[in-house]
Structure 1
Amino acid sequence: MRHTVDYFLAPQSPWTYLGHERFAALVRETGSAVRVRPMDLGKIFPLSGGLPLPKRAPQRQAYRLLELRRFSEALGVPLHPQPRFFPVAGDPAARLITAVALHDGADAAMKLTGAVTTAVWAQERDIADPGTLAALLAECALDETRLGQSEQPDVQALYDENTQAAIDASVFGAPSYVIDGELFWGQDRLDFVARKLRT
């Protein structure tokens, strides 16, 4: 049975970054299909009890930094726990990934997602800046017109649709993977995702 994964992500999330390449490899290995669905956490957090990072308790913020270092070292994935451009608005990059998914398909959207998340967490680039996003499109050999298209109403509508689909699936954080209606939250749950995809 070939599964389809709804991949709900936030491009500014370090956890999306830490899990992305492993998830991409798992999709390739199992021949699974993926729907790349950037979502607006700003709309999801208030509905699910989540808080943006600056509003979290100090001990939670401190532990987050500890876990980021742990996972970076354990996975061998380079990461700046406090990168130069963070916090950063995720919407421009999310809409760009949405536009690429719409016009170029899931593989291209997966490639761009990897590049965007790496830009934040490994390269310390500003993914809210149009110049950075244009450069990332070029680095991924994607059509430069996608940047302008990402600002069009049809792409915003699809971004909103993805966010509502995440809410309907009880998603509350990024990354989240939904397979046959079953929710898996977090890059540290990819072992369970693998079990599901291999059945």
Structure 2
Amino acid sequence: MAHIDYFFSTLSPFTYLSGKSVDEIAARTGASVTYRPMDIMALFARTGGLPPKDRHPARQAYRLQDMARRAKLMGLPLNLKPAHWPTNSAPSSYAIIAAQAAGGGDLGTLVHAFGRAIWAEDRDIAEDGVVKACLAEAGFDASLADSGLLQGAEAYGGNLEEAVRRDVFGAPFFAVDTGQNFWGQDRLADLELHLAGKL
């Protein structure tokens, strides 16, 4: 059985636009998944990338066009200029790490809830109330937002180091234990074909 290390940022519009696809693909192919939220801005600095605001205007314009097309294809609402972006991704990431350790809910729903909060609902995922609401929506104990902060911080930093070690440079990024890497929401179909032994 293959295993996917799912590296992502709760800030990433393309993580949001992935929906719950990684879980659905894993279920269809028998793969397992570990969720690894990371600091995408720190990753850019470590791997030669630039934050969106520092990219050439042509790249910025294309990114917005592509986001709008992807949202339409996925049938998801999307605000191209959300009120609370970028924001501090650590609280939401710590909550995901705590939820994964605790179990009892749906991680895919949780990750998507954070993305939707930013990109469709103009909520700030750095706020405690928003984090707790997303946890509850996904079937987790909302008090996870208040516990395991040290463990969350350590795992969050560790995920960044692991991402750099495994040649991750963006989000979402799917690193399979076969040695194959897939970057971007638009490579989910390729990921599934690979896991099915067809690519």
Equivalent in the alignment of 1:55: 54
Query: Which amino acid letter does the alignment assign opposite residue 186 of structure 1?
Result: G
Give the structure-2-normalised TM-score.
0.92
Q: CA deviation at 1:94?
A: 1.1
1:30-89 Cα offsets, whole Å, 9 max, x none, are: 221100010112321112111112211222111111111111112222211112221222
Q: CA RMSD in A?
A: 1.5
Structure 2 residue 123 is the aligned partner of structure 1 residue 125: yes
Equivalent in the alignment of 1:191: 189
Q: CA deviation at 1:150?
A: 4.5
Conservation of the 8 A alpha-carbon contact between 2:20 and 2:109: no
Distance in 1 of aligned mates of 2:76 and 2:109? 17
Unaligned runs of 5+ in 1: none
Q: How does 1:140-155 map to 2 (within 5 A)?
A: 140-151=138-149, 153-155=150-152
Equivalent in the alignment of 2:21: 22
Distance in 2 of aligned mates of 1:4 and 1:182? 11
Equivalent in the alignment of 2:66: 67
Equivalent in the alignment of 1:177: 174
Conservation of the 8 A alpha-carbon contact between 2:91 and 2:145: no
Query: Which amino acid letter does the alignment assign opposite residue 24 of structure 1?
Result: D
Equivalent in the alignment of 1:114: 112
Conservation of the 8 A alpha-carbon contact between 2:95 and 2:135: no
Aligned length: 196
Seen in structure 2, the aligned counterparts of structure 1 residues 28 and 111 have a Cα distance that, compared at 3 Å, is same
Q: CA deviation at 1:162?
A: 1.2
- SS of the counterpart of 1:37? strand
Distance in 1 of aligned mates of 2:134 and 2:112? 10
Equivalent position to 2:157, from 146, 160, 175: 160
Distance in 1 of aligned mates of 2:128 and 2:148? 11
Seen in structure 2, the aligned counterparts of structure 1 residues 17 and 150 have a Cα distance that, compared at 3 Å, is farther
Distance in 2 of aligned mates of 1:42 and 1:149? 25
Seen in structure 2, the aligned counterparts of structure 1 residues 82 and 150 have a Cα distance that, compared at 3 Å, is farther
Give the structure-1-normalised TM-score.
0.92
1:143-182 Cα offsets, whole Å, 9 max, x none, are: 122101242x222111111111111100000000011222
Structure 2 residue 124 is the aligned partner of structure 1 residue 139: no
Distance in 2 of aligned mates of 1:79 and 1:24? 22
